[in-house]
Amino acid sequence: MRNIFNGMAVTLLLTGMASAADLPVPSTDFPRPPKGPMTFFLTSQGSGKGADLGGLAGADAHCQKLATDAGAGQFTWHAYLSTDGRDGKPIVNARDRIGKGPWRNAKSAVIAKSVGDLHADTVAQGRNGNLLNKATALSERGELIPGEGDKPNKHDVLTGTQQDGRAYKDKYDHTCSNWTNGGDKGSAQLGHFDRLSSFTSMSWNSAHPSTGCSEEKLAATGSGGLFYCFAVDGK
């Protein structure tokens, strides 16, 4: 566009048809893409009972309440959590319960365009797809959450998943008894929303296990009992 205007200016000046004051000025008022509504956030607060979230239903309700209070209750919200197959219940994969995307944070920044981008299903998606980090993993209020290097550090996020977003299929507890255990015993798989780590993995959804399920045990490794929420029907 700039070259076109420059060419017009040269032509008009050489032919004597216009002075410099008469030359067209290129517009900078180009249309911008509209900001989309919030369809993703990291909870600003946990359940208050460690990893006891009241199961998936309780975690989803927590997401829905926080979203509604923040003005995004028009969507159906689900927690990004997997569950183990136990007590006759089937395995649930976190990636299967969050919709298709894209997902935006409270500042309208896109954190992933699809489930494949979010989980780096291909090499290309792994390189460019997931934009989740400390600056973009905002709370429902649009606030930054304390991460590694902050006090207190709350970068451990409850997920119960492997890096591909699917539940574990071994005999061990990776979900604090499917998000119903808030005691010292048990364990939950955790991710690092800031994708930083001095000692373990930088994975956003599967960095390391917790040392227990209570508020105190979660806090010991840098967790506030927070988890990711996604709008299932958001676009």
What's the pLDDT score for residue 86? Answer: 78
Percent of the chain with pLDDT over 90: 73
Q: Give dist(CA 190, CA 50) in Å, integer.
A: 13
In the chain, alpha helices (H): 2-15, 55-69, 115-119, 123-128, 176-179, 215-220
Phi-psi label, residue 139: left if phi above 0, alpha if psi -120 to 50, beta otherwise? beta
Over range 202-226, report the average pLDDT.
95
Sort strands 223-231 and 156-158 into parallel, antiparallel or unpaired.
parallel
Over range 150-173, report the average pLDDT.
95
What's the pLDDT score for residue 35? Answer: 67
Are 49 and 62 contacting, i.e. CB atoms less than 8 angstroms apart? no
Is the model more confident about 67 or about 201? 67
Q: For 115-159, what is each residue's pLDDT tens digit?
A: 999 998 887 787 777 999 999 999 999 999 999 999 999 999 999
20-34, 109-123, 176-190, 207-221: least confident range: 20-34
| Overall CATH class of domain 40-231 | alpha beta
Q: Give dist(CA 102, CA 91) in Å, integer.
A: 25
Over range 164-172, report the average pLDDT.
94
Q: Give dist(CA 208, CA 212) in Å, integer.
A: 12
Answering whether pTM is above 0.85, one says no
What's the pLDDT score for residue 6? Answer: 44
Q: For 72-124, what is each residue's pLDDT tens digit?
A: 999 999 999 999 987 778 899 999 999 999 999 999 999 999 999 999 888 77
DSSP letters for 112-174: ESSHHHHHT-SHHHHHHT---STTT---TTSPPPP-TTSSS---EEE--B-TTS-B--SSS-S
Q: For 25-71, what is each residue's pLDDT tens digit?
A: 444 444 444 567 999 999 999 999 999 999 999 999 999 999 999 99
Is the model more confident about 92 or about 198? 92
Amino acid sitting at position 154: K
Q: Where are the domains of the chain?
A: 1-30, 40-231
Are 53 and 62 contacting, i.e. CB atoms less than 8 angstroms apart? yes
What's the pLDDT score for residue 15? Answer: 45
Q: Give dist(CA 46, CA 227) in Å, integer.
A: 7
What's the pLDDT score for residue 201? Answer: 84
φ, ψ for residue 233, nearest 5 deg: -110, 20
Give pairs for 62-67: CB < 8 Å, separation 24+.
62/229, 63/229, 66/41, 66/140, 66/229, 67/38, 67/41, 67/140, 67/229, 67/231
